[in-house]
A and B are shown apart, each in its own frame.
Chain A
Amino acid sequence: MQEKIQKIPLYIRQARRKQSLTTILTAFFIVVQIIWVGLPIFMAVLWSLVDPDHPWSFPSILPEKLSLAQWVYVFKYTNIVRALKTSYMLAPCAVALSFLLGLPTAYVLGRKQIRGKKFFETIVLLPMIMPGMVVALFLSRVFTAFGLAQNFFGLVLAHTLMALPYMIRLLATSFEAIPQDIIDAAENLGANTFVKIKDIFLPMIRPGLLAGIIFAFTTSIEEFNLTFVIGTPTFETIPTILYSFLGYNFIRTNASVVALIMMIPNIILLFIVEDLLKFDYLSASLGKL
Chain B
Amino acid sequence: MSRLVLKNIVKKFENVIAVDHVSLEVEEGEFVTLLGPSGCGKTTTLRTVAGFYQPDEGEIYFNDRLMNNIPPAKRNTAMCFQSYALFPHMNVWDNIAFGLKMRKVPTEEQKKRVAEVLQMMSLAGMEKRMPSQLSGGQQQRVALARAIVTQPDILLFDEPLSNLDAKLRVQVRVEIKEMQKRLGITSLYVTHDQDEALAISDRIVVMNQGHIEQVGDPETIYLHPATSFVAGFIGLANILNGKVIARDEQRVLLELPFGTLWAFGGNLCPNVGDMVKFSFRPENLVQYREGNMNKIVTTVVHAIFMGNAVDLFLDAQGVRLRARAQNTEKFKSGDTVVFTIDEKAFQFLE
**Which A positions have Cβ atoms within 8 angstroms of B?**
179, 181-182, 184-192, 195, 199-200, 203-204, 206, 281-282, 284-289
Contacts and interface: CB of A to CB of B under 8 A. Distances in A.
A287 B50 contact: no
Contacts of A182: 85-88
Interface stretch (B98-106, B112-120, B191-199, B266-274): B98-106
B85 A179 contact: yes
A200 B86 CA distance: 11
A190 B89 contact: no
Contacts of B135: 288
Contacts of B131: 284-285, 287
A187 B51 CA distance: 10
Nearest to A185: B85
A287 B139 contact: yes
Contacts of A282: 88
A125 B192 CA distance: 44
B254 interface: no
B88 A281 contact: yes
Nearest to A204: B89
Interface of B: 50, 52, 71-74, 77-79, 81-89, 98-99, 102-103, 130-132, 134-136, 139, 146, 150, 163
A190 B99 CA distance: 6
B133 to A, nearest CB: 9
Contact of A184 (B52, B88, B89, B150): B52
A19 B102 CA distance: 54
Contact of B72 (A181, A184, A204, A281): A184
A285 B146 CA distance: 16
A200 B98 CA distance: 11
Given A187-B72, A288-B135, 5 more contacts: A181-B85, A182-B86, A189-B102, A281-B89, A284-B132
Contact of B73 (A181, A188, A286): A188
Contacts of A285: 86, 88, 131
Contact of B83 (A189, A200, A281, A287): A287
B87 A190 contact: no
A181 B81 contact: yes
A279 to B, nearest CB: 8
Contacts of B98: 186, 189, 191, 199
B87 A200 contact: yes
Nearest to A195: B102
Contacts of B136: 287-289
A10 to B, nearest CB: 36
Output the residue of A200, A284, A286, A288 with the most chain B CB within 10 A. Answer: A288
Contacts of A185: 79, 81, 85-87
Contact of B78 (A188, A286, A287): A188
A179 B102 CA distance: 21
A188 B88 contact: no
Nearest to A286: B83
A204 B81 contact: no
Contacts of A206: 89
Interface centre among B78, B102, B130, B134 (most CB of A within 10 A): B102
